[in-house]
Chains A and B, each alone.
With several copies, the nearest count.
Chain A
Amino acid sequence: MAYLELKGIQKHFGPVHTIRGIDLAIQQGEFIVFVGPSGCGKSTLLRLIAGLETITDGSLMLDGRDITDAPSSKRDLAMVFQSYALYPHMSVFENMSFALKLAKADPAVIRDKVERAARILNLTPYLQRTPKELSGGQRQRVAIGRAIVRSPKVFLFDEPLSNLDAALRGQTRVEIARLHRELGATTIYVTHDQVEAMTLADRVVVLRDGRIEQVGTPLELYDKPANQFVAQFIGTPQMNVVPASQVPQLEDVCGLPVPPAGFVGLRPESVTIVPAGQGPFNGRVELLEALGAETLIYLSTEGGAQLVSRQATRTLLQVGQTVGVAIDADAAHLFDAQGRVTRHGAAAPVKVAA
């Protein structure tokens, strides 16, 4: 039986219907990541699980117990709020030790745990400051610290790393993974960061408009999106999805079974630049983005399609230049007019080295 079970959860804010029926079963110790566009209901869902909002309809089971109406303080969850929600009148140390103090932990243990968390989060020099004397990222780290000093049944993280620099983010992500391994606590994690979603999740839940679009392991979602929305949402830069009519070459040349009025989905790495005229069709370079290790090339094709190509090298191309566009037809996903997938492209090649 599932550890945490959401059954037909609905939430109305007055006239606004935010969560429109969520069914989800989470196993004990699982690491679940919620992703979805801004405003799709991720935070609301976390808050419902936490018991901070009343559930309009549906029920919530934790460990076999119906907790739909249980008070938050009795649920034994730890949460990192998207807005931090620090205690403004307490120092960082007090913020982080508050839960332990309430649980009547031994002061020495508290001290120990808090100092450990502070070290992990690079907060040691700030333990005596109050929240208003901290930078945005420091505040966010305090919010994380407040959760991770505890050993709750379930962790709820709401975009916990959004305000951290890349290095710290990587480091903290690793710590969260380690914490999860060590405590084995069921974790629900909201993020907009693809890397976090891909690396942390046992399963990723893709939400849209208060409904679940797809649930699966990260690579399942990447390789086998259930529909155009998921396909475009997972992976960055986005998968190119263009009306099949704009790239008739795909059907004509490669013989792909494109559905009528359907769409073709191509990951940026499946689109490569060749000298003009050498690919199945030509395109014009609209924009170049050099990211250091790789380069994104924005193209508009003769058929009117907008495509992004990604290459692991620098380029000498100029905006406005005409280039040939080659496509890895094997990797193309096909969607019908309603956006449902009709064919999954082949996954990225596997390097067999070593």
Chain B
Amino acid sequence: MNRLLPRALMAPAVATLFLWMIVPLAMTLYFSVIRFNLMQPEATGFIGLQNFEFFVTDPSFTASVLNTLWLLGSVIVITVVLGTGLALLIDAPFPGRGLVRVLLISPFFVMPTVNALLWKHMMMNPIYGVLAQVWKFFGAEPVDWLTQWPLLSVIIMISWQWLPFATLIFMTALQSLNREQLEAARMDGATYLQQLRYMVLPHLARSMAVVIMIEMIFLISVFAEIYTTTGGGPGDASTNVAFLIYKQALMSFDAGVASAGALFAVLLANVAAIFLIRLIGKNLD
């Protein structure tokens, strides 16, 4: 076997990604230590770590870190658990499976902004939203989702959107499960649940690792949904780190602080990634 071949095959991906990473990263590093507000580009100069200091002393900072982690954790748990369930449910043939598959993955096709507007107005509005009507139908007081449960609402929207992603990946992965292994397990006396526990889930482990890592990356930088629905509020109840950065970058136009925030987000993502990789990494190979 040609020892160079594997590297040659990887080279384009590695090289382009390296460029894609290093240039913005270097610039961001630079911006993070200078004064740089888009609205006042003339006021510039090296200011050391002041941008970082300003970012982490933001009154919403602690809450935003916690919210980020909450959002991350709950959406991942919800999508992975339900996604596995759904994938299992539609793995075996039944009438209309093809259509069900398509309908199930459709929410992923909806753009994040539309998703947010859809939930905010048509579903969760406490007066004319569909949910409110359902609550009323059962004689209950409609829930004022975005005010009472802002973070939960965001979690619901995002889970709704990412569930199809998990389902799709698990669905394809399930198909490569060797039938004979299941048969062997049955011979060993495994009930359906035990087959799930010992055969199917371990088989899905790699896909789960992939889903979790990819979702983590996306979820850590979610802001469009928050911007559109709650604007991070009430208070900082639904502000996450990405939204905090977004506020700095595109609402206050402070590129310096935003860069510092972005670097902090990279740090946070790395911490989360290292934690997750500890947890699930061995499933990757």
Contacts and interface: CB of A to CB of B under 8 A. Distances in A.
A and B touch in the complex (CB under 8 A): yes
B30 to A, nearest CB: 43
Contacts of B178: 85, 88
A180 B177 CA distance: 33
Nearest to A89: B202
B1 A72 contact: yes
Interface in B187-214: 187-191, 194, 198-199, 202-203, 205
A51 B1 contact: yes
Contacts of A98: 185, 188, 190, 198
B186 A52 contact: yes
Nearest to A54: B1
Interface string B59-90: 00000000000000000000000000000000
Contacts of A102: 188-190, 194, 198
B7 interface: no
B191 to A, nearest CB: 6
Give chain B's interface residue range (CB within 8 Å of chain A). 20 to 34
Interface string A56-87: 00000000000001111100111101010111
Interface string A94-111: 000011001100000000
A139 interface: no
A277 to B, nearest CB: 53
Contacts of A53: 1
B2 interface: yes
A50 interface: yes
B183 A85 contact: yes
Nearest to A94: B198
Nearest to B206: A89
A87 B185 CA distance: 8
A69 B2 contact: yes
B172 interface: no
A51 B2 CA distance: 9
B278 interface: no
B184 interface: yes
Question: Which of A52, A53, A103 is most buried by chain B, counting CB atoms within 10 A of its CB?
Answer: A52
A78 B199 CA distance: 18
Interface string B149-188: 0000000000000000000000000000010110111111
B188 A146 contact: yes
Interface in B1-51: 1-3, 5
Contacts of A51: 1, 186
B3 A69 contact: yes
Question: Which of B1, B187, B189, B198 is most buried by chain A, counting CB atoms within 10 A of its CB?
Answer: B187
B34 to A, nearest CB: 48
A67 to B, nearest CB: 10
Question: Which of A51, A54, A86, A89 is most buried by chain B, counting CB atoms within 10 A of its CB?
Answer: A89
Question: Which of B186, B189, B191 is most buried by chain A, counting CB atoms within 10 A of its CB?
Answer: B189
A69 B3 CA distance: 7
Instruction: Tell me the interface secondary structure of chain A in the complex.
Output: loop
Contacts, number: 73
Contact of A88 (B1, B5, B181, B198): B181
Nearest to B198: A98
A88 B182 CA distance: 11
Contacts of B2: 69-71
Give chain A's interface residue range (CB within 8 Å of chain B). 20 to 34
Contacts of A81: 180, 183-184
A251 to B, nearest CB: 53
A88 B183 CA distance: 14
A85 B180 contact: yes
A116 B33 CA distance: 66
Contacts of A76: 189
Contacts of B191: 73
Contacts of A87: 181, 184-185, 198-199, 202
A115 B1 CA distance: 32
Given A52-B1, A71-B1, A78 B184 contact: no
Interface string A22-52: 0000000000000000000000000000111
Nearest to B205: A89
B181 A73 contact: no
B187 A77 contact: yes
A75 to B, nearest CB: 8
Nearest to A50: B187
A150 B194 CA distance: 18
A104 to B, nearest CB: 10
Contacts of A86: 181, 184
Nearest to A76: B189
B199 A73 contact: no
Interface in A157-204: none
A79 B185 CA distance: 10
A78 B5 contact: no
Contacts of A85: 178, 180-181, 183-184
Nearest to A83: B180
Contacts of A54: 1, 3
Nearest to B203: A89
Nearest to A132: B179
Contacts of B180: 81, 83, 85
Contacts of A52: 1, 183, 186-187
5 contacts: A50-B187, A52-B1, A54-B3, A73-B188, A146-B184
Interface of B: 1-3, 5, 178, 180-181, 183-191, 194, 198-199, 202-203, 205
Interface of A: 50-54, 69-73, 76-79, 81, 83, 85-90, 98-99, 102-103, 146, 150
Given A52-B187, A89-B203, 8 more contacts: A50-B183, A54-B3, A69-B3, A72-B187, A87-B181, A87-B202, A88-B181, A89-B202
Q: Nearest 6 A-B pairs (CB), nearest first?
A: A99-B188, A85-B180, A72-B186, A85-B184, A89-B202, A79-B187
